[in-house]
Amino acid sequence: MAYSFALAGNPNSGKTTLFNRLTGSNAHVGNWPGVTVERREGKLKNKNDDITVVDLPGIYSLSPYTPEEVVARDYLSHNKPDLIINIVDATNIERNLYLTTQLLELQIPVIVALNMMDEVKARKDSIDIGSLEKKFGIPFIPIAAAKGHGVKELLEKAVAFVKKPSLPEKTALESSKISEAISDIRKYLDNAGIEKTLYYSVKLLERDIKIKEDLKLDAETENAIEGIIKAEEDKQEQEMETLIADLRYRFITTITSKSVKKGKSEGELSVTDKIDRVVTSRILGIPIFFAIMYLVFELSVGSVGKMLAEPFELLTGEIIPNAISSFLASVGTSEFVTSLIMDGIVNGIASLLGFLPLIVMLFLCLSILEDVGYMARIAFVMDRIFRHFGLSGKAFVPLIMGYGCSVPGIMATRTLEDEKSRRLAITLMPFMSCGAKIPVYAVFAGVFFAQSQATVTFSIYMLGLAVAMISAIILNKTVFKGEAPPFVLELPAYRIPTLKSLLIHTWEKAKGYVIKVGTVLLTMSVVIWFCQRFSFSMQMVEDPAQSILGVVGTFISPIFTLNGFGLVKNSSIINWQVGAALLTGFVAKEAVVSSLGILYIAQGAGELTPALSAALGANFTPLSAYAFMAFVLLYAPCVAAIATAKKELGSWKWTGFTIAYQCGVAWIVSMLIYQIGSLLGIGLV
């Protein structure tokens, strides 16, 4: 048989972890709210039945106040799954069961996966599962999804239950004092031939505008239902939406007061509470954040990353290219073919693969911060700063995701409630340096700031954060006027990351980088090689400055004269390679390094890494190199991120504005760095 299971639950309740366990998928799991921003589908690992599992965004209720709640509610309302698996965080059961009371009103079979039971036991709490099943009238299965405990039993009970489903006799509101009003409205919906009359009756009682529009009831029926609502409000002396929420919580409290026993006394602080008193404090929160981020860059770009990268660079930058070059010479390939393979492919790709250890270390560090639960704390801490700039701390969540890649960061702006915040966050996204820019920082910092590589890289990231804040002030005073929305964010409990989760996160991101290098950047390397060998008339040229890329680069590079890298160091010669390389950065930011490798090394000789280092040293000063790094940090993202931004913004007008603003800011900041540094006599030699 073919069945569909929907996974529904609060943010950070473990839905995606369970989804991965059930389907074998490697969907992104993070110990912070807002990771899943659209539904995912996978096939259940079950031999006897064809079961599709849908992982819905985390929601607190079926009242759509946020885009992710709209996605979840629309699916549950319009695509009737055969079974809802409601994932409940057992450590915060009272709040999580609020959604459970609503799901039961959909009149779809529901079972509850009581997750994180290992943490419940660690806290010495106890939950009477039999009592919960009796009161709610549905199965409750204890599990610990992160460790795989109880998942097999959950699957077996889910399959058995969907084949012999049952609904509770009465839901929370059907047993309450407004049951008569619900029953009266259901009669009108039954006469109109509408399904899920219990769910829609409650929603109409709450005066849910979206549901009212969807049902398209005739005027007579609408007036009759409004009469029922007003009569009930007069009777209860309270607005219906507030009354319904109160009745749900009373129902839950009555049950949990008898079924849930806390292991710690009232007022006793948990380990999470004790840590939060330090890491989220007004005095220490920001310094701790900066210290942690500096440690991340020290490990990834500095000590450990550099130690891992050296043998890897030797392999990809010297041993492999030399072996390929020797092989091509032994088989007698032509000069044209040798140049294509060595300059167009090997040098461009090898220069990027050499930085793989640094990128892996960065992704590993960020994954640890995610899984531990610190990412949500950063958003909470940064809200105090962002609030002064017209942006809530919740906007910092997608911006943090941008540290890995701008594309998922832009997609995560869907979790922001208002259009102003979404547009502003997308505009600021490139300023939070993505992992694709690491090769640029690693090359330039390694050549010009070898003794302080991690510190310089850290300063670039902090520069991006500072520019984002200043931009938020400017844009809020001009383009995006308005107050920042209220900030509400659940802080998850701290958890020890599992090795499997960390390896999956890191592997997926590293694999994505290697795939990009082997596809997009490989193609780009060949295109760059071709464009620096041929003129617009398709004739081979001896002087690369006369090539297609040379002409384009010569046209672009003078724009950066005031930035210090538009001209070759200590000369009036146009540094056309820079303009050409920045142009290729629109395809992928990693292409900036591979382009410079191809364009500079094509004029010289020798092994890849020393040749590129020598070429950069001959064309840049330390100051112009830092200005160049700042420009790469801030200018518009790659075409994939731009396309995603267009989709989320829904307008080429706003997309064009964000690109123009980002490029303009990049030029101004880079120019100021060079000009001020020149006046102070810093890094000119």
Name the DSSP letter for residue 625: H
Q: Are the CB atoms for 235 and 198 separated by under 8 Å?
A: no
Low-confidence stretches of the chain (pLDDT < 50) are 28-35, 602-608
For residue 283, what pLDDT is reported?
85
pLDDT tens for each residue of 418-465? 777 788 888 988 898 887 888 888 889 888 998 888 889 889 989 998
Q: Which residue is listed with tokens 């979404």?
A: 422
**Which pair of structure tokens corresponds to residue 9?**
């639950």
Name the DSSP letter for residue 194: -
Q: Which residue is listed with tokens 């698996």?
A: 85
**Separation CA 305–CA 315 (nearest Å):** 16
The packing angle between helices 219-236 and 240-259, to 10°, is 60
Q: Are the CB atoms for 405 and 637 separated by under 8 Å?
A: no
Alpha helices by DSSP H, listed for 104-239, are 117-122, 129-136, 151-163, 179-191, 197-205, 209-215, 219-236
Q: Which residue is listed with tokens 């102003």?
A: 420
For residue 567, what are the β-bridge partners?
574
For residue 624, what pLDDT is reported?
94
CATH 3.10.270.10 is the classification of domain 2-163: no
**Separation CA 15–CA 36 (nearest Å):** 9
Q: Are the CB atoms for 563 and 671 separated by under 8 Å?
A: yes
Q: DSSP 3-state assignment of 144?
A: strand
In the chain, list all ranges with CATH 3.40.50.300. Answer: 2-163
For residue 519, what pLDDT is reported?
77
Architecture of domain 173-256: Orthogonal Bundle (1.10)
Count the neighbouring beta carbons within 10 Å of the beta carbon of residue 419.
Answer: 13
In the chain, list all ranges with CATH 1.10.287.1770. Answer: 173-256
Residue 453: CA count within 13 A, CB half-sphere:
24
**Separation CA 112–CA 133 (nearest Å):** 9
**Separation CA 625–CA 444 (nearest Å):** 6
**Burial (Cβ within 10 Å: 0-12, 13-18, ≥19) of residue 7:** buried
Helix-, strand-, coil-residue percentages of the chain, each rounded to 5: 65, 5, 30
What pTM value is reported for the model? 0.69
Q: DSSP 3-state assignment of 417?
A: coil
